[in-house]
Amino acid sequence: MNRIASIRRTVRSLHSTASTINPDEIDFFSRLASQWWDPRGEFALLHRMNPVRVGFIRDKIIQTLDEDITPLDHLSPTRSARILDGMEALDIGCGGGLLAESLARLGARTTGVDASESNIKIAALHASADARLTTGINYRYGSAEEMVAEGKKFDLVCSMEVLEHVNNPRTFLTSCADLVKPGGHLFLSTISRTPLSYFLAIFMAEHALRLVRPGTHDYSKFVKPSELVEFFQHPDLAWISRTYGGIPIRKEAEIRGLIYNPLEGAWKTLPAGLSGTQCNYLFWARKPNLS
């Protein structure tokens, strides 16, 4: 059985958008998919960043699971190897599915949504090659706002490297927040608006080193960590009750700088806090439980 036929069949068997892929397009999109997923290709930086982002998600989830445990829970059997087992996750701006696949492998029933139809096709094709994934992962072409309108809620909402690209960050963040179940988690990663981020993310990465395509970023859209904290501290949301020197308390939200070492070709997270958040950073906040 040749490869295209098998992809066609698997694609047809996928529940969502992937099934709308025209068979004639499959060749085209599988080529795009292999470019998108080439760890040394155009998205190399993103590929290298993914394990670090998932590490942040994993550590925060484990930490909150540990903190949520009531004394009686200690008697329950040990946690599954898949730490996101039983959770519903949403990845907004899923691209080719890098993060979504990781979330699915960690056990979450995962939905990836992207405003680019081509990204969704790439992601669906890539996941369809791995039969272990297709049951736990579901891709759709669309926007966060559409999902809000449908009243969808998730235990885990992620949106990585998206915020700095949207036109109306306030509306976007409101939608993200709305999609999180009470007690659920929101993970963001983005770029701050500082002279350093201009230098690194635009001058160096786009122009001098050509790590990413020129024009990828627009400096004015970058969001500072303090602006995120303010947003989630506003009484409308009140996810963050108080801050100390601009830093939220650990059970409510966390900010971590993310730096790239070009010599090692590796990303690293910095300790929680504002240091090192002048360029790329990760943000986590937890929606308060209904009480």
Partner 1 sequence: MLCARPLLFRSACLSKSIPSRPFSKDSAAASYDVVIVGGGLSGLALAAAIGSLPLARELLNIALVDASDLTRKYNWNSDPHTYSSSVCSITNASREFLDSIGVWQHVEQSRTSPIESMQVWDGISNSRICFSNSDIDPGGSIFEMARLTENLNLHRALLHRLDEIPGRVELIDQVKVESITRSGTWPVVNLSGGRSLQTRLLIGADGFKSPVRSFAQIGSSGWAYPSHAVVGTLHHPSSNHPQHNTTAYQRFLPTGPIAFLPLTKEVSTVVWSTSVQLASILRSVHPDVLAHLINAAFRLPEVSIRYLHSILLERGADGITPESITEEIKFRENAHGIGPHSALYSSDVVSLGVGIPPIGSEAYPPLVHSVQAGSQASFPLKLSHADSYVGEGVGERTALVGDAAHTVHPLAGQGLNMGLEDARVLAQTIGEALSLGGDIGSYISLIPYHTARYAPNHAIISVIDKLHKLYSLTSPPAVWARSVGLEVLNELGPIKSALMGVAGSKTKQDMAEPLQHYGAAGWHAAATVVESLSGGIRTGKVVAGSLGGLVSSLVQNAAKNTRG
- Extract the tokens encoding 202: 């635009």
Q: Which of 74, 77, 264, 291 binds partner 1 (CB under 8 A)?
A: 264
How many angstroms separate the CA atoms of 287 and 185, rounded? Answer: 6
- The strand ranges marked E within the chain are 88-92, 109-114, 137-141, 154-160, 180-191, 243-244, 247-248, 253-261, 266-272, 280-286
CB of 73 to partner 1, least distance (A): 20
Q: Does 10 bind partner 1 (CB under 8 A)?
A: yes
Q: Does 23 bind partner 1 (CB under 8 A)?
A: no
Q: Which of 26, 54, 156, 173 binds partner 1 (CB under 8 A)?
A: 54
CB of 56 to partner 1, least distance (A): 10
CB of 130 to partner 1, least distance (A): 5
Instruction: Considering the complex, state which of residue 54 and residue 147 has its C-beta at the smaller distance from partner 1.
Output: 54
144 Cβ contact partners less than 8 Å away, ≥ 6 residues apart: 92, 113, 159, 172, 175, 176, 179
Q: Which of 51, 86, 182, 262 binds partner 1 (CB under 8 A)?
A: 51
Which residues, in sequence order, are bridge partners of residue 180?
154
Quick one: which segment of 112-120, 123-131, 188-196, 251-259 binds partner 1 (CB under 8 A)? 123-131
Q: Does 61 bind partner 1 (CB under 8 A)?
A: no
How many angstroms separate the CA atoms of 50 and 102, rounded? Answer: 9
The residues in 126-145 that bind partner 1, with binding defined as CB under 8 A, are 129-132
261 Cβ contact partners less than 8 Å away, ≥ 6 residues apart: 267, 268
Q: Does 33 bind partner 1 (CB under 8 A)?
A: no
Residue 53 marked in a binding site: yes
- The CA–CA distances, whole Å, from 208 to 41, 228, 275 equal 17, 30, 25
Q: Where do contacts with partner 1 occur on this chain (CB under 8 A)? A: 1, 3, 6, 9-10, 39-40, 47-48, 50-51, 54-55, 58, 80-84, 101-106, 129-132, 264
